[in-house]
Amino acid sequence: MQSLMNMFPNMFYSKNRAGVYVAANRRAIEIVKATGFRDNIIGLSDTDIFSVSAATLFCDHDDRVMTQDKAHMFIENFTANNGTPLRRVTFKRPWYNEDGRILGVIGLTTDLSSLYIMDTRVDITLREFQVIALKLIGLSSKTAASYLFISPRTVEVYLKNIRIKLGITSHKELIKIVIRNNKLGLRLYTAVN
């Protein structure tokens, strides 16, 4: 199972109902280490790893997923322990046992801090940021639209506006900008349209 999780280029992890990490891929551990934490995260909770405000945010998201018993997408803005401002998009869904009982949450997180840096120079709206995040993790416009409860055509309009604002002409150029500006060196694998 661990080798399968390590195939994900983004942070992939699971936490039990108490918020303790029970599994994490290599990328999740690398990113946590890069933000000022030095140990493995298995057996620890967000309060052991992150600042109080960040841990509270993550725990609130976990609680919402488990209470509502459905998947959610979250845009997370917080400051790492080393003072680095971070912006991430996280998909969390309930983690079930064989009987259908919720054991905790499973999360897939993509660090988009480079877009946060870009956002200070370019007026990117929250919705445009959400569209960028969904496209960068490889979702089609149709799937991204379903997550955001908008039409696929609206997703394409947002992407066009983003390309105009950034002065680029393709989705591939957007990926290059993110990779070039990403301080954590996140490897992004995505289907390029």
pLDDT tens figures, 106-123: 998 877 766 655 545 566
pTM greater than 0.85: no
Q: What is the enclosing helix (H) or strand (E) of 94?
A: strand 85-96
Cα distance between residue 120 and residue 116, in whole Å:
7
Q: What is residue 34's predicted lDDT score, i.e. its pLDDT? A: 67
Average pLDDT of the residues of the chain: 79
Contact between residue 126 and residue 116 where contact means Cβ atoms under 8 Å apart? no
Cα distance between residue 140 and residue 147, in whole Å:
11
Cα distance between residue 13 and residue 182, in whole Å:
21
For the chain, where do the domains classified as CATH 3.30.450.20 start and end? 2-111
CA 5 to chain centre: 15
List pLDDT tens digits, range 65-107: 999 999 888 888 777 777 777 778 888 999 999 999 999 999 9
Structural fold of domain 114-181: Arc Repressor Mutant, subunit A (1.10.10)
Cα distance between residue 126 and residue 7, in whole Å:
30
Structural fold of domain 2-111: Beta-Lactamase (3.30.450)
pLDDT at residue 184 tops 50: no
For the chain, where do the domains classified as CATH 1.10.10.10 start and end? 114-181
